[in-house]
Amino acid sequence: MKRVLLLASLFAAAVSVRADWTIKDDANSELPGRKVDVAQDGQLVARFIYGEGQIKPYLRVYGEQGDGLNEWHEKQQFPHHRGIYIGWNKIASDLGTFDLWHMTKGATMVVTKLEKLEGGKDSATLVATIEWNGGKADASGSKLLLTETRTLVISRPPAFTVVPRTRLIQWAPKAVQVDATFELKPARDLTLDGDLQHAGVHFRASQSVQERKGETTYVWEPDLDGKGGKVVSQELKWARLTFPIGARWYHATHLNAPSNPVEQLSWRDYGRFGFFFTKSLAKEEQLAVKYRIVTELAADVTAKPTEEQRAEFRKSAQALYDAFAK
């Protein structure tokens, strides 16, 4: 009975301190284009960046004390990598083949409308319509390859968890959870193609991680060989990057929904990783892929993780996946 009361009081306390989420579209004074700021109790949690002057729309997330976990800089290595983003470097159709990763030869991703910006007690939701265009028009003057509906739900996982079959309560670090759905509707028959290093849905850590790339660590499931930044499997469930930002360490865990097509995992020690697949789609045949990305403080890490810590990383990442897969 005492345990029940304790759990009830802890849950009530967690709810009582839960603050409202706000979401606001505004001009961007720091970068070209516009921004949509997602905040909880006035604290910036995520920022969606889009508009004129941006190579592609993408999402940034923030950690403790405002740490930018995937800040972008125009002088960074591979400047086409930006936050949490999607693309394929070879999209073939009757218009030809275009690179919607590096965004070359006139290819563009344009946010045509913010369909929904909604805050609340538990989360904030952004829904955007995005047109993917090639660099060549058809006879009607259209360059449209596909229309994407991107839904981003930003929240925080529970502040604590109860260990099954025990009386133990584990307090979790303050985390950011991004549930991302990408719905793709082709305007013509096309093939999403390319290679795993330049296609799919990816997370790119801040440029500062490039300068400390020898300290980053990855784990993934299934635990297969990943030499050369490549893991080949159609059973890929999740991948976790552990990386330093200043004096603090963070996890970024990329969860792949069981319903998603998947062929390979791409990873790089400077902090860019994601899942890859190829797909042929007929005109107006819709494809929806879903991912959950959880970023959190790696509280017990002060240097490059040990093998024992890596084993713990695997256990906690698997627990996140089990919750997501349900």
Q: What is the CA radius of gyration of the chain?
A: 20
Distance of alpha carbon 235 from alpha carbon 241, whole angstroms? 19
- Can you give the pLDDT at residue 299? 80
Query: Considering the domain 2-325, what is its CATH architecture?
Result: Distorted Sandwich (2.70)
- 3-state secondary structure at position 64: helix
pLDDT tens across 179-232, in order? Answer: 999 999 999 999 999 999 999 999 999 989 989 999 999 999 999 999 999 999
- Can you give the pLDDT at residue 303? 83
Average of per-residue pLDDT values in the chain: 90
For residue 202, what are its two tokens? 């990816």
Evaluate if pTM is beyond 0.85: yes
Distance of alpha carbon 7 from alpha carbon 2, whole angstroms? 9
Report which of 295, 252, 255 is spatially closest to residue 45, judged by C-alpha positions. Answer: 295
- Can you give the pLDDT at residue 306? 87
pLDDT at 297 over 60: yes
Place of tokens 């309560």: 169
Cβ contacts of 276 within 8 Å, gap of 6 or more: 194, 195, 196, 199, 200, 262, 263, 264, 265, 266
User: Do residues 187 and 283 make contact, with C-beta atoms less than 8 angstroms apart?
Assistant: yes
Place of tokens 């159609």: 234
User: Do residues 112 and 84 make contact, with C-beta atoms less than 8 angstroms apart?
Assistant: no
Domain boundaries, the chain: 2-325
| Over residues 161-184, mean pLDDT | 73
- 3-state secondary structure at position 141: coil
- CA 254, 259, 261, 265: dihedral to nearest 10 degrees? 20
Could you give the C-alpha distances from 145 to 127, 138, 189, 287, 289, in angstroms and in order? 20, 11, 9, 14, 18
- Can you give the pLDDT at residue 175? 94
